[in-house]
Chain A
Amino acid sequence: MESSASAVMQGTSPVRTNYDDQIVKMFFTATVVWGIVGMLVGVIIALQLAWWPANLGLPWTSFGRLRPLHTNAVIFAFAGNVCFTGIYHSMQRLLKTRMWNDTLSKIHFWGWQGIIVAAAITLPLGLTQSKEYAELIWPIDIAIAVVWVVFAINFFGTIAIRKVSHLYVAIWFYMSFVITIAVLHIVNSLAIPATATLSYPIYGGLTDALVQWWYGHNAVGFFLTTPFLGLMYYYLPRAADRPVYSYRLSIIHFWALVFLYIWAGPHHLLYSALPEWAQTLGMVFSIMLLAPSWGGMLNGLLTLRGAWDRVRTDPVLKMMVVAVSFYGMSTFEGPMMSIRAVNGLAHYTNWVIGHVHSGALGWVGMISFAILYWLAPRLWGRELAHPKWVDAHFWLATIGIVIYTVAMWAAGLMEGLQWRALNDAGQLANPIFLDITARLEPFLWLRLLGGTMYLVGAIMMGINFWQTIRGSGKPSDTAPATAAA
């Protein structure tokens, strides 16, 4: 469906723009499907850690091959597609123009889904470059670069033909996403091919490690943070029907965030043999990152001033509040974990997994669900088939996240402390590694429970959308009205 909409501008005649919402619906559908697949793989590998026979004794179902499938699916397939859904929907409206080129939009969509399918085939086959979140083999890396350039051309082409003079803050964040991911991906993927599926990086040893974590941490920064902040700046004010709290704060925290984030990579290599000054730079900049991160959180939460009564009743707003709160929590936890002394305890433990998931499930997942629930009635012109399920999804996800992260914090602290514990004689108090592993088991089952609750919520969302789109929902006349002033 291509919706034609009119701008409500006081004192000016309405401008009619023919937006491309077909591409938005395609990315929307892909988001929901891949999201469920990625989370399901996450639950499977969580089961494998609690109960090893779930590895099934087959090469393509063992943990070492499925774990990259999980991370790639949730990052690039779920989070990637939701970014594209929101960007294609909001940038047309923010720039008051249709996308510059519909063909490029379609190439972007099908190219990206093709890359995901290629990843889903190659990773279980053990075809990998081993760099985290950059595992895909070199031919797929080239495809990613090509598809990304197609997206970038269409993105900047649309900006060039915009009907408004000034770029809204969401567009700044989208722009940093498009530019930085291209730079990170290309630099980190440089490799010499040996065969069609095998290659070796041009960087060696610790240089390779530094380049990888410069990439890896900024994949978090510019794939899972800046585009989602951009989405927050569009959808949160829309859903709350309130203007953004502070324009000044958005300027300061945008520039501070994009400048500071890129330095933070070496905090993944603290206590390694990487030169000490590089480790210290990584740590110091990670701590400084707290300020712009909380700038974004505060700007989001304070946008709700005067709308808090609606947070009690509107599940979309509830999800957004939890999302922004988890963003604040995980961007406080991250800088703390980057302090050398804290990292000495936390590194290599489940604590890191807990930290990642408070950001991934709490921030990225929740803001994504909120946006999808807000968009569905508007895209398909129908009320949700099961409005009450949204509230159930909210509680399943929220409680699931809490169980997940608390279990991982406890497990991480425990193993970190027991690995390093010394007895009075100065010898290891727990000399047998597997003794400590055994004590973690209850927490691994708890984590599985939390993750399963989160997955069940996502499946409910999928069914809800399926039945809405298939037509069991009432025609929507109230949904758009809720957003009207």
Chain B
Amino acid sequence: MTDDNRTPNDQNGGDEPPAGVSEASWGAWHRRVLEGRAGLFALLTVVAISIGGLVEIIPMFTATDMGVGEDMPVTPYTPLEVAGRDLYVREGCYLCHSQMVRPMRAEVLRYGEWSRAWEYRYDRPFLLGSRRLGPDLHRIAGKYPDAWHYEHMEDPRSTSPGSIMPAYPWMLERTVDPRIVAKSLRALQRVGHPYVDVSEENVRGSMRAQGSGIVNSLAAAGIESEWDTEIVAMIAYLQRLGRDGKAVLSGASGQQQEQ
């Protein structure tokens, strides 16, 4: 393999630039100043790739007019809703369902009020999604009864003929562990979510109280379930999605749709 380390720039003999003579003279400054100095080259690369990110990201932390709406009445997710949200992440729901109603007439007609920045305040991680294989879910709260969600997750085609969604029967059997939810709440507390009492007993009590309400509504539809099953946590989260926003924006929606 006699030619094996003949680099493309060997064409002109040794280390000459791989281009014509006239161009080499134009690029001489680049060659002289940068190409022999790897450290300087790397440093300039760091500068070049940093500017855009700094300009776009830093204002998100410092500016006050970001539309985050500190005074808007959005509440943190309850322990059961946090558990449901983590299940939504685990099953990759966000890969097919967006949580972002765009300010367009057709979207507002189909899904409801368009999504505001402050509604996402307690979304960690964000779940805006990048694909709509199924419909947007940002205004799903209250759209269907709890039993609909139960049946839909068990067999999507029982409620939605022609759906291509997978079934999630295991969520009917598996349970969520309040001890892990308490750990989640402690982590969220550390990044600023205003939870007061994240002790295990309190978290369990809160989950049981909210879950029992869903169990009762399911029972009224003839479905038997337990407060600590995954499906109950999932329903709690879905019935919460976009609820705070809806409450605030319902009065304004008439004017909003006029554009």
Q: B1-22: which residues lie under 8 A (CB-CB) from chain A? A: 1-15, 17-19
B66 at the interface (CB under 8 A from A): yes
Say yes or no: A179 contacts B128, CB within 8 Å: no
Residues of B within 8 A of A419 (CB): 106, 110, 132
Given contacts A62-B166, A167-B35, A167-B41, contact A209 B14 (CB under 8 A): no
Q: How far is the CA of A206 from the CA of B103 in the complex (A)?
A: 16
B115 at the interface (CB under 8 A from A): yes
Residues of B within 8 A of A272 (CB): 100, 102, 115, 128
Q: How far is the CA of A212 from the CA of B56 in the complex (A)?
A: 12
Binding site for B on A (CB under 8 A): 3, 5-12, 17, 19, 48-49, 52, 55, 57, 59, 62-65, 67-68, 92-94, 96, 126-132, 156, 159-160, 164-169, 172, 175-176, 179-180, 183, 187, 192-195, 198-212, 214, 222, 233-234, 237-238, 242-248, 251, 255, 258-266, 268-269, 271-275, 278, 281-282, 285, 344, 347-349, 352-353, 378, 381, 415, 419-422, 426-428, 431, 433-435, 437-438, 480, 483-485
Given contacts A129-B125, A483-B3, contact A422 B10 (CB under 8 A): no
B143 at the interface (CB under 8 A from A): no
Say yes or no: A206 contacts B117, CB within 8 Å: yes
Name which residue of chain A comes closest to B163, CB basis. Answer: A434
Given contacts A3-B1, A166-B31, contact A9 B52 (CB under 8 A): no
Q: B118-136: which residues lie under 8 A (CB-CB) from chain A? A: 119-135
Say yes or no: B106 contacts A421, CB within 8 Å: yes
Q: Can you name 10 A-B pairs with beta carbons within 8 Å?
A: A49-B164, A64-B92, A65-B92, A199-B187, A201-B191, A207-B57, A237-B11, A348-B131, A433-B135, A434-B161
State how many angstroms separate the Cβ of A14 from the closest Cβ of chain B.
9
Given contacts A205-B117, A259-B52, A285-B52, contact A8 B27 (CB under 8 A): no
Say yes or no: A247 contacts B42, CB within 8 Å: no
Q: B171-212: which residues lie under 8 A (CB-CB) from chain A? A: 180, 183-184, 186-188, 190-192
Q: How far is the CA of A93 from the CA of B213 in the complex (A)?
A: 69
For the complex of A and B, 7 pairs with smallest distance between CB atoms: A64-B92, A205-B120, A247-B19, A263-B52, A237-B8, A5-B4, A262-B52
Residues of B within 8 A of A195 (CB): 180, 183-184
**Contact bitstring B18-51, A, C-beta under 8 A = 1, else 0:** 1100011011001100011010011001101111
Complex partner residue of A273 from B67, B91, B92, CB under 8 angstroms: B67
Q: How far is the CA of A198 from the CA of B14 in the complex (A)?
A: 54
Say yes or no: A243 contacts B120, CB within 8 Å: no
Residues of B within 8 A of A198 (CB): 86, 180, 183-184, 187
Given contacts A49-B164, A244-B8, contact A180 B49 (CB under 8 A): yes
Residues of A within 8 A of B35 (CB): 166-167
Name which residue of chain A comes closest to B74, CB basis. Answer: A205
Residues of A within 8 A of B2 (CB): 5-6, 8, 480, 484
Say yes or no: B6 contacts A7, CB within 8 Å: yes
Complex partner residue of B187 from A187, A192, A480, CB under 8 angstroms: A192
Q: How far is the CA of A396 from the CA of B180 in the complex (A)?
A: 49
State how many angstroms separate the Cβ of B25 from the closest Cβ of chain A.
10
State how many angstroms separate the Cβ of B159 from the closest Cβ of chain A.
11
Say yes or no: B8 contacts A128, CB within 8 Å: no
Complex partner residue of B6 from A8, A129, A131, A206, CB under 8 angstroms: A8
Given contacts A128-B92, A246-B23, contact A168 B8 (CB under 8 A): yes
Q: How far is the CA of A371 from the CA of B12 in the complex (A)?
A: 23
Say yes or no: A63 contacts B187, CB within 8 Å: no
State how many angstroms separate the Cβ of A43 from the closest Cβ of chain B.
17
Q: How far is the CA of A427 from the CA of B12 in the complex (A)?
A: 68
Binding site for A on B (CB under 8 A): 1-15, 17-19, 23-24, 26-27, 30-31, 35-36, 38, 41-42, 45-46, 48-53, 55-57, 59-61, 66-68, 86, 89-96, 98, 100, 102-107, 109-110, 114-117, 119-135, 160-170, 180, 183-184, 186-188, 190-192
Residues of B within 8 A of A8 (CB): 2-3, 6, 10
State how many angstroms separate the Cβ of A344 from the closest Cβ of chain B.
7
Residues of B within 8 A of A164 (CB): 15
Residues of B within 8 A of A428 (CB): 106, 109-110
Q: Assuming A62-B92, A262-B49, what are 12 further A-B pairs, CB within 8 angstroms?
A: A64-B95, A65-B91, A92-B5, A168-B8, A194-B188, A207-B61, A214-B57, A237-B8, A247-B19, A247-B24, A262-B53, A278-B59
Residues of B within 8 A of A210 (CB): 56-57, 60
Residues of A within 8 A of B61 (CB): 207
State how many angstroms separate the Cβ of A181 from the closest Cβ of chain B.
10
Q: How far is the CA of A305 from the CA of B53 in the complex (A)?
A: 38
Say yes or no: B122 contacts A204, CB within 8 Å: yes
Q: How far is the CA of A160 from the CA of B46 in the complex (A)?
A: 18
Say yes or no: A193 contacts B187, CB within 8 Å: yes
Residues of B within 8 A of A426 (CB): 105
Complex partner residue of B110 from A48, A199, A381, A431, CB under 8 angstroms: A431
Say yes or no: B49 contacts A259, CB within 8 Å: yes
